Structure 1
Amino acid sequence: MRNVIQSVREALLTNFRELDTWFEKDFDLLHFKPDTNQWNIREVLEHISLTNYFLLLIINKSTRRALERKRATNTIILPADYQDKFDKIDVIGSRSFGWIRPEHLEPSGLQDMRDIRALLKQQFAQCMYNLSLLKNGEGLLVLTNMSVNHLGKLDIYQYIYFLTKHIERHIRQMQRLAGEYAGATEDDAVANDSVSAPDEETESMLLI
Protein backbone atom coordinates (compact mmCIF):
# COMPACT_ATOMS: atom_id res chain seq x y z
CA MET A 1 0.00 0.00 0.00
CA ARG A 2 2.89 2.33 0.75
CA ASN A 3 4.16 1.90 -2.81
CA VAL A 4 0.76 2.91 -4.20
CA ILE A 5 0.58 6.04 -2.05
CA GLN A 6 4.18 6.94 -2.89
CA SER A 7 3.49 6.59 -6.63
CA VAL A 8 0.47 8.88 -6.39
CA ARG A 9 2.44 11.39 -4.31
CA GLU A 10 5.28 11.43 -6.85
CA ALA A 11 2.82 11.94 -9.71
CA LEU A 12 1.34 14.91 -7.85
CA LEU A 13 4.75 16.45 -7.18
CA THR A 14 6.00 15.96 -10.73
CA ASN A 15 2.96 17.32 -12.54
CA PHE A 16 2.16 20.26 -10.27
CA ARG A 17 5.81 21.37 -10.30
CA GLU A 18 5.83 21.24 -14.08
CA LEU A 19 2.56 23.19 -14.21
CA ASP A 20 4.01 25.99 -12.12
CA THR A 21 6.88 26.54 -14.56
CA TRP A 22 4.43 27.50 -17.31
CA PHE A 23 3.43 30.66 -15.48
CA GLU A 24 6.95 32.00 -16.06
CA LYS A 25 6.72 31.73 -19.86
CA ASP A 26 6.70 34.74 -22.19
CA PHE A 27 3.44 36.63 -22.67
CA ASP A 28 3.38 35.94 -26.42
CA LEU A 29 3.79 32.19 -25.90
CA LEU A 30 1.06 32.05 -23.24
CA HIS A 31 -1.39 33.77 -25.61
CA PHE A 32 -0.34 32.01 -28.85
CA LYS A 33 -3.13 30.24 -30.76
CA PRO A 34 -2.30 28.17 -33.87
CA ASP A 35 -6.01 28.35 -34.73
CA THR A 36 -8.95 30.39 -33.46
CA ASN A 37 -10.71 27.21 -32.32
CA GLN A 38 -7.78 26.08 -30.17
CA TRP A 39 -6.96 27.04 -26.60
CA ASN A 40 -3.84 28.99 -25.79
CA ILE A 41 -1.63 27.99 -22.86
CA ARG A 42 -3.25 30.36 -20.36
CA GLU A 43 -6.65 28.83 -21.22
CA VAL A 44 -5.24 25.32 -20.79
CA LEU A 45 -4.00 26.28 -17.32
CA GLU A 46 -7.42 27.69 -16.43
CA HIS A 47 -9.10 24.50 -17.68
CA ILE A 48 -6.82 22.37 -15.50
CA SER A 49 -7.74 24.40 -12.42
CA LEU A 50 -11.45 24.06 -13.25
CA THR A 51 -11.20 20.30 -13.70
CA ASN A 52 -9.19 19.93 -10.49
CA TYR A 53 -11.89 21.86 -8.64
CA PHE A 54 -14.65 19.44 -9.63
CA LEU A 55 -12.48 16.34 -9.14
CA LEU A 56 -11.52 17.55 -5.67
CA LEU A 57 -15.17 17.98 -4.71
CA ILE A 58 -15.52 14.21 -5.19
CA ILE A 59 -12.12 13.38 -3.66
CA ASN A 60 -12.77 15.45 -0.53
CA LYS A 61 -16.22 13.95 -0.02
CA SER A 62 -14.90 10.42 -0.59
CA THR A 63 -12.05 11.01 1.87
CA ARG A 64 -14.49 11.98 4.63
CA ARG A 65 -16.58 8.87 3.93
CA ALA A 66 -13.50 6.64 3.91
CA LEU A 67 -12.37 7.89 7.32
CA GLU A 68 -15.85 7.24 8.71
CA ARG A 69 -15.88 3.70 7.30
CA LYS A 70 -12.41 2.98 8.67
CA ARG A 71 -13.81 3.10 12.20
CA ALA A 72 -16.05 0.12 11.40
CA THR A 73 -13.47 -1.84 9.37
CA ASN A 74 -10.75 -4.00 10.89
CA THR A 75 -8.90 -5.07 7.74
CA ILE A 76 -8.28 -3.53 4.32
CA ILE A 77 -7.40 -5.96 1.54
CA LEU A 78 -5.68 -4.93 -1.69
CA PRO A 79 -7.27 -6.65 -4.76
CA ALA A 80 -4.96 -8.94 -6.75
CA ASP A 81 -5.55 -7.00 -10.00
CA TYR A 82 -5.21 -3.60 -8.32
CA GLN A 83 -2.37 -2.33 -10.52
CA ASP A 84 -4.37 -3.01 -13.70
CA LYS A 85 -6.65 -0.05 -13.04
CA PHE A 86 -3.64 2.27 -12.67
CA ASP A 87 -2.39 1.03 -16.05
CA LYS A 88 -5.74 1.99 -17.59
CA ILE A 89 -5.57 5.42 -15.98
CA ASP A 90 -2.10 5.94 -17.46
CA VAL A 91 -3.71 6.12 -20.90
CA ILE A 92 -5.42 9.37 -19.83
CA GLY A 93 -2.09 11.18 -20.11
CA SER A 94 -1.86 10.49 -23.86
CA ARG A 95 -3.81 11.54 -26.96
CA SER A 96 -4.82 7.97 -27.80
CA PHE A 97 -8.53 8.57 -27.20
CA GLY A 98 -11.01 11.39 -27.67
CA TRP A 99 -12.30 13.37 -24.72
CA ILE A 100 -15.49 15.41 -24.88
CA ARG A 101 -15.36 18.15 -22.24
CA PRO A 102 -18.54 19.46 -20.58
CA GLU A 103 -19.25 23.17 -20.94
CA HIS A 104 -18.57 23.99 -17.29
CA LEU A 105 -14.93 23.00 -17.82
CA GLU A 106 -14.43 25.41 -20.72
CA PRO A 107 -12.01 28.23 -19.81
CA SER A 108 -13.20 31.83 -20.02
CA GLY A 109 -9.75 33.18 -20.89
CA LEU A 110 -10.46 36.09 -18.53
CA GLN A 111 -9.22 34.76 -15.19
CA ASP A 112 -6.09 36.43 -13.82
CA MET A 113 -3.02 34.22 -14.19
CA ARG A 114 -1.96 34.97 -10.61
CA ASP A 115 -5.30 33.68 -9.36
CA ILE A 116 -5.00 30.49 -11.44
CA ARG A 117 -1.48 29.89 -10.13
CA ALA A 118 -2.55 30.40 -6.52
CA LEU A 119 -5.55 28.09 -7.01
CA LEU A 120 -3.38 25.32 -8.46
CA LYS A 121 -1.06 25.54 -5.45
CA GLN A 122 -4.04 25.24 -3.11
CA GLN A 123 -5.31 22.23 -5.07
CA PHE A 124 -1.91 20.54 -4.85
CA ALA A 125 -1.86 21.09 -1.08
CA GLN A 126 -5.38 19.65 -0.77
CA CYS A 127 -4.43 16.52 -2.71
CA MET A 128 -1.36 15.98 -0.53
CA TYR A 129 -3.43 16.52 2.61
CA ASN A 130 -5.98 13.92 1.52
CA LEU A 131 -3.18 11.42 0.90
CA SER A 132 -1.81 12.06 4.38
CA LEU A 133 -5.24 11.28 5.85
CA LEU A 134 -5.42 8.02 3.87
CA LYS A 135 -1.93 6.74 4.71
CA ASN A 136 -3.12 3.36 6.03
CA GLY A 137 -5.13 2.22 3.02
CA GLU A 138 -8.40 3.97 3.90
CA GLY A 139 -8.62 5.23 0.31
CA LEU A 140 -9.65 1.73 -0.78
CA LEU A 141 -12.89 1.91 1.19
CA VAL A 142 -14.79 4.28 -1.13
CA LEU A 143 -15.33 3.74 -4.85
CA THR A 144 -16.63 6.36 -7.29
CA ASN A 145 -17.60 5.79 -10.91
CA MET A 146 -15.45 7.41 -13.60
CA SER A 147 -16.98 7.40 -17.08
CA VAL A 148 -13.90 8.76 -18.90
CA ASN A 149 -12.37 6.04 -21.09
CA HIS A 150 -14.76 3.54 -19.41
CA LEU A 151 -12.60 3.39 -16.29
CA GLY A 152 -15.48 2.34 -14.05
CA LYS A 153 -15.13 2.35 -10.26
CA LEU A 154 -12.06 4.13 -8.86
CA ASP A 155 -10.94 4.30 -5.25
CA ILE A 156 -9.57 7.57 -3.85
CA TYR A 157 -5.92 6.86 -4.67
CA GLN A 158 -6.89 6.05 -8.24
CA TYR A 159 -9.08 9.15 -8.44
CA ILE A 160 -6.20 11.39 -7.35
CA TYR A 161 -3.95 9.57 -9.81
CA PHE A 162 -6.51 10.28 -12.53
CA LEU A 163 -6.27 13.98 -11.63
CA THR A 164 -2.49 13.86 -12.15
CA LYS A 165 -2.86 12.13 -15.51
CA HIS A 166 -5.35 14.75 -16.68
CA ILE A 167 -2.72 17.37 -15.81
CA GLU A 168 -0.06 15.37 -17.66
CA ARG A 169 -2.29 15.21 -20.74
CA HIS A 170 -2.51 18.99 -20.84
CA ILE A 171 1.17 19.51 -20.08
CA ARG A 172 1.83 17.63 -23.31
CA GLN A 173 -0.70 19.86 -25.06
CA MET A 174 1.15 22.95 -23.83
CA GLN A 175 4.46 21.47 -24.96
CA ARG A 176 3.00 20.98 -28.44
CA LEU A 177 1.75 24.58 -28.42
CA ALA A 178 5.22 25.78 -27.43
CA GLY A 179 6.68 23.78 -30.32
CA GLU A 180 4.19 25.27 -32.77
CA TYR A 181 4.93 28.75 -31.42
CA ALA A 182 8.67 28.22 -31.91
CA GLY A 183 8.03 27.03 -35.47
CA ALA A 184 5.80 30.00 -36.25
CA THR A 185 8.38 32.40 -34.82
CA GLU A 186 11.11 30.78 -36.90
CA ASP A 187 8.96 31.00 -40.05
CA ASP A 188 8.40 34.70 -39.40
CA ALA A 189 12.14 35.23 -39.03
CA VAL A 190 12.86 33.39 -42.29
CA ALA A 191 10.17 35.39 -44.08
CA ASN A 192 11.67 38.64 -42.83
CA ASP A 193 15.13 37.56 -43.97
CA SER A 194 13.76 36.69 -47.40
CA VAL A 195 12.19 40.13 -47.76
CA SER A 196 15.38 41.95 -46.77
CA ALA A 197 17.76 39.75 -48.78
CA PRO A 198 17.16 41.37 -52.24
CA ASP A 199 17.87 44.81 -50.79
CA GLU A 200 21.18 43.61 -49.39
CA GLU A 201 22.11 42.07 -52.74
CA THR A 202 21.27 45.29 -54.59
CA GLU A 203 23.32 47.32 -52.16
CA SER A 204 26.29 44.96 -52.63
CA MET A 205 26.08 45.30 -56.42
CA LEU A 206 26.09 49.08 -56.13
CA LEU A 207 29.22 48.93 -54.02
CA ILE A 208 30.94 46.82 -56.69
Structure 2
Amino acid sequence: MHPRVAELVDLLTRGRAALLAAVASVPAEQLEQRPNSDSWSVAEVLDHLVMVEAGSARLLAKRLMRAREAGLGPETETSTVLDRLPGYDPASSPPRVAPETVRPREGATAESALAGLQDARETLMGVLRDGDGLALEQVTAVHPVLGDIDLYRWVLFIAKHEDRHERQVRAIAAALASHAARED
Protein backbone atom coordinates (compact mmCIF):
# COMPACT_ATOMS: atom_id res chain seq x y z
CA MET A 1 0.00 0.00 0.00
CA HIS A 2 1.31 3.46 -0.88
CA PRO A 3 2.45 5.38 2.24
CA ARG A 4 -0.04 8.20 1.65
CA VAL A 5 -2.97 5.81 1.41
CA ALA A 6 -1.67 3.80 4.37
CA GLU A 7 -1.59 6.86 6.63
CA LEU A 8 -5.15 7.78 5.64
CA VAL A 9 -6.37 4.23 6.28
CA ASP A 10 -4.68 4.32 9.69
CA LEU A 11 -6.23 7.71 10.52
CA LEU A 12 -9.70 6.52 9.51
CA THR A 13 -9.31 3.26 11.45
CA ARG A 14 -8.21 4.99 14.65
CA GLY A 15 -10.98 7.58 14.33
CA ARG A 16 -13.66 4.96 13.82
CA ALA A 17 -12.44 3.01 16.85
CA ALA A 18 -12.71 6.18 18.97
CA LEU A 19 -16.23 6.86 17.67
CA LEU A 20 -17.39 3.32 18.40
CA ALA A 21 -15.89 3.51 21.90
CA ALA A 22 -17.81 6.74 22.49
CA VAL A 23 -21.03 5.12 21.28
CA ALA A 24 -20.41 2.09 23.50
CA SER A 25 -20.18 4.42 26.51
CA VAL A 26 -23.86 5.29 26.10
CA PRO A 27 -26.41 2.83 27.50
CA ALA A 28 -28.29 1.16 24.63
CA GLU A 29 -31.65 2.47 25.86
CA GLN A 30 -30.35 6.05 25.58
CA LEU A 31 -28.91 5.95 22.05
CA GLU A 32 -32.07 7.42 20.50
CA GLN A 33 -32.64 9.89 23.35
CA ARG A 34 -31.83 13.58 22.95
CA PRO A 35 -30.21 15.22 25.97
CA ASN A 36 -32.35 18.30 25.27
CA SER A 37 -34.67 19.59 22.55
CA ASP A 38 -31.88 21.53 20.80
CA SER A 39 -29.50 18.57 20.52
CA TRP A 40 -29.22 15.46 18.43
CA SER A 41 -29.32 11.99 19.90
CA VAL A 42 -26.38 9.63 19.42
CA ALA A 43 -28.41 7.82 16.75
CA GLU A 44 -28.98 11.11 14.93
CA VAL A 45 -25.28 11.98 15.07
CA LEU A 46 -24.49 8.56 13.59
CA ASP A 47 -27.14 8.98 10.89
CA HIS A 48 -25.59 12.33 9.94
CA LEU A 49 -22.16 10.72 9.74
CA VAL A 50 -23.57 8.00 7.47
CA MET A 51 -24.97 10.55 5.05
CA VAL A 52 -21.76 12.60 4.94
CA GLU A 53 -19.41 9.65 4.53
CA ALA A 54 -21.60 7.65 2.13
CA GLY A 55 -22.20 10.69 -0.07
CA SER A 56 -18.53 11.63 -0.03
CA ALA A 57 -17.45 8.07 -0.83
CA ARG A 58 -19.84 7.88 -3.78
CA LEU A 59 -18.62 11.23 -5.11
CA LEU A 60 -14.96 10.24 -4.71
CA ALA A 61 -15.56 6.88 -6.42
CA LYS A 62 -17.06 8.68 -9.43
CA ARG A 63 -14.26 11.22 -9.57
CA LEU A 64 -11.61 8.53 -9.28
CA MET A 65 -13.24 6.49 -12.05
CA ARG A 66 -13.27 9.55 -14.34
CA ALA A 67 -9.66 10.36 -13.53
CA ARG A 68 -8.57 6.78 -14.23
CA GLU A 69 -10.42 6.84 -17.55
CA ALA A 70 -8.61 10.09 -18.38
CA GLY A 71 -5.26 8.41 -17.71
CA LEU A 72 -4.49 9.30 -14.10
CA GLY A 73 -0.81 8.60 -13.48
CA PRO A 74 1.04 7.04 -10.58
CA GLU A 75 1.70 8.77 -7.28
CA THR A 76 5.27 10.02 -7.24
CA GLU A 77 5.27 11.67 -3.80
CA THR A 78 5.58 9.93 -0.45
CA SER A 79 5.39 12.93 1.88
CA THR A 80 2.62 12.98 4.44
CA VAL A 81 -0.84 14.18 3.50
CA LEU A 82 -2.06 14.46 7.09
CA ASP A 83 -1.22 18.18 7.14
CA ARG A 84 -3.22 18.98 4.00
CA LEU A 85 -6.05 20.86 5.74
CA PRO A 86 -4.22 23.61 7.62
CA GLY A 87 -6.55 25.89 9.48
CA TYR A 88 -9.47 23.48 9.23
CA ASP A 89 -10.16 22.07 12.67
CA PRO A 90 -13.85 21.30 13.16
CA ALA A 91 -13.18 20.12 16.71
CA SER A 92 -12.25 23.64 17.83
CA SER A 93 -14.55 25.66 15.58
CA PRO A 94 -18.09 26.62 16.56
CA PRO A 95 -20.83 24.13 15.69
CA ARG A 96 -22.23 24.45 12.19
CA VAL A 97 -25.81 23.97 11.12
CA ALA A 98 -25.88 20.86 8.97
CA PRO A 99 -27.26 21.36 5.46
CA GLU A 100 -30.69 19.85 4.96
CA THR A 101 -29.25 17.07 2.78
CA VAL A 102 -27.22 15.64 5.68
CA ARG A 103 -29.54 16.27 8.61
CA PRO A 104 -30.57 13.14 10.51
CA ARG A 105 -33.64 11.38 9.26
CA GLU A 106 -36.78 11.15 11.34
CA GLY A 107 -36.74 7.98 13.39
CA ALA A 108 -33.01 7.32 12.99
CA THR A 109 -31.88 4.36 15.05
CA ALA A 110 -28.40 3.60 16.29
CA GLU A 111 -28.59 0.07 14.93
CA SER A 112 -29.35 1.13 11.37
CA ALA A 113 -26.90 4.04 11.53
CA LEU A 114 -24.07 1.79 12.75
CA ALA A 115 -24.76 -0.60 9.87
CA GLY A 116 -24.81 2.36 7.48
CA LEU A 117 -21.51 3.62 8.86
CA GLN A 118 -19.94 0.22 8.24
CA ASP A 119 -21.22 0.20 4.65
CA ALA A 120 -20.04 3.76 4.03
CA ARG A 121 -16.60 2.96 5.43
CA GLU A 122 -16.31 -0.12 3.23
CA THR A 123 -17.14 2.04 0.21
CA LEU A 124 -14.60 4.68 1.21
CA MET A 125 -11.91 2.05 1.82
CA GLY A 126 -12.74 0.60 -1.59
CA VAL A 127 -12.07 4.02 -3.14
CA LEU A 128 -8.71 4.14 -1.37
CA ARG A 129 -7.85 0.61 -2.54
CA ASP A 130 -8.86 1.49 -6.11
CA GLY A 131 -6.74 4.61 -6.01
CA ASP A 132 -3.78 3.08 -4.21
CA GLY A 133 -0.58 4.08 -5.98
CA LEU A 134 -2.26 6.72 -8.16
CA ALA A 135 -1.78 10.49 -8.04
CA LEU A 136 -4.85 11.15 -5.90
CA GLU A 137 -3.96 14.82 -5.56
CA GLN A 138 -5.22 15.14 -9.13
CA VAL A 139 -8.66 13.72 -8.24
CA THR A 140 -10.75 16.68 -7.14
CA ALA A 141 -14.31 17.58 -6.22
CA VAL A 142 -15.99 20.65 -4.77
CA HIS A 143 -16.68 20.50 -1.05
CA PRO A 144 -19.49 22.80 0.16
CA VAL A 145 -17.27 24.46 2.79
CA LEU A 146 -13.69 23.79 1.70
CA GLY A 147 -14.09 24.41 -2.04
CA ASP A 148 -12.33 22.39 -4.72
CA ILE A 149 -10.20 19.86 -2.84
CA ASP A 150 -8.34 16.71 -3.80
CA LEU A 151 -9.11 13.18 -2.71
CA TYR A 152 -6.52 13.27 0.08
CA ARG A 153 -8.15 16.38 1.55
CA TRP A 154 -11.64 14.87 1.23
CA VAL A 155 -10.56 11.85 3.26
CA LEU A 156 -8.94 14.14 5.84
CA PHE A 157 -12.21 16.09 6.01
CA ILE A 158 -14.13 12.84 6.64
CA ALA A 159 -11.72 11.88 9.43
CA LYS A 160 -11.81 15.31 11.08
CA HIS A 161 -15.58 15.51 10.74
CA GLU A 162 -15.97 12.13 12.41
CA ASP A 163 -13.59 13.24 15.19
CA ARG A 164 -15.76 16.29 15.86
CA HIS A 165 -18.84 14.11 16.14
CA GLU A 166 -17.05 11.55 18.32
CA ARG A 167 -16.55 14.43 20.76
CA GLN A 168 -20.23 15.32 20.36
CA VAL A 169 -21.24 11.74 21.21
CA ARG A 170 -19.10 11.94 24.36
CA ALA A 171 -20.81 15.22 25.29
CA ILE A 172 -24.24 13.66 24.72
CA ALA A 173 -23.24 10.71 26.90
CA ALA A 174 -22.17 13.08 29.69
CA ALA A 175 -25.38 15.11 29.43
CA LEU A 176 -27.53 11.99 29.52
CA ALA A 177 -25.60 10.67 32.53
CA SER A 178 -26.04 14.02 34.27
CA HIS A 179 -29.80 13.94 33.62
CA ALA A 180 -30.00 10.39 34.96
CA ALA A 181 -28.03 11.34 38.10
CA ARG A 182 -30.37 14.26 38.81
CA GLU A 183 -33.38 11.99 38.47
CA ASP A 184 -32.01 9.51 41.03
- TM bucket, shorter chain: 0.7 to 0.9
**Deviation readout 1:65-110 (Å, 9 max, x if unpaired):** 2322335x4x655599966533344x13x04144232112111241
CA separation in 2, counterparts of 1:145 and 1:11?
A: 22
Which one has a bigger Cα radius of gyration?
1
CA separation in 2, counterparts of 1:20 and 1:104?
A: 24
Q: C-alpha displacement at 1:170, in angstroms?
A: 0.7
CA separation in 1, counterparts of 2:180 and 2:39?
A: 18
CA separation in 2, counterparts of 1:98 and 1:112?
A: 23
Task: Provide the residue aligned with 2:37 in structure 1.
Answer: 36
In terms of fraction of residues, the more helix-rich structure is 1
Residue 146 (structure 1) aligned to one of 143, 148, 152: 143
TM-score calculated relative to the size of structure 2: 0.83
1:123-202 paired onto structure 2 within 5 Å: 123-148=120-145, 151-189=146-184
Q: What secondary structure, in the 3-state scheme, does the structure 1 residue paired with 2:171 have?
A: helix
Larger relative contact order (C-alpha < 8 A, sep ≥ 6)?
2
Q: Structure 2 vs 1, CA of residues 173 and 106 (structure 1 numbering), >3 Å: closer, same or farther?
A: same
Q: C-alpha displacement at 1:3, in angstroms?
A: 3.4
1:43-58 paired onto structure 2 within 5 Å: 43-58=44-59
The answer to whether the 8 A contact 2:34-2:40 is kept is yes
In structure 2, stretches of 5+ residues that fail to align are none
Task: Provide the residue aligned with 1:13 in structure 2.
Answer: 13
Residue type of the partner of 1:5? V
CA separation in 2, counterparts of 1:79 and 1:7?
A: 11
**Deviation readout 1:34-79 (Å, 9 max, x if unpaired):** 32121111111111111122212211111212322335x4x65559
Residue type of the partner of 1:164? A
Q: Structure 2 vs 1, CA of residues 125 and 187 (structure 1 numbering), >3 Å: closer, same or farther?
A: same
Percent sequence identity is: 21
Residue type of the partner of 1:17? A
CA separation in 2, counterparts of 1:153 and 1:42?
A: 31
The answer to whether the 8 A contact 2:47-2:108 is kept is yes
In structure 1, stretches of 5+ residues that fail to align are 190-208
RMSD, aligned α-carbons: 2.8
CA separation in 2, counterparts of 1:19 and 1:82?
A: 22
Task: Name the stretch that deviates more: 165-174 or 107-116.
Answer: 107-116
Q: C-alpha displacement at 1:23, in angstroms?
A: 6.0
CA separation in 2, counterparts of 1:161 and 1:84?
A: 9
Q: Structure 2 vs 1, CA of residues 79 and 20 (structure 1 numbering), >3 Å: closer, same or farther?
A: closer
1:65-80 paired onto structure 2 within 5 Å: 65-70=66-71, 73=73, 76=75, 78=77
Q: C-alpha displacement at 1:13, in angstroms?
A: 0.9
Task: Provide the residue aligned with 2:63 in structure 1.
Answer: 62
The answer to whether the 8 A contact 1:139-1:155 is kept is yes
Q: Does 1:4 align with 2:1?
A: no
Q: What secondary structure, in the 3-state scheme, does the structure 2 residue paired with 1:110 have?
A: coil
Residue 110 (structure 1) aligned to one of 107, 111, 123: 107
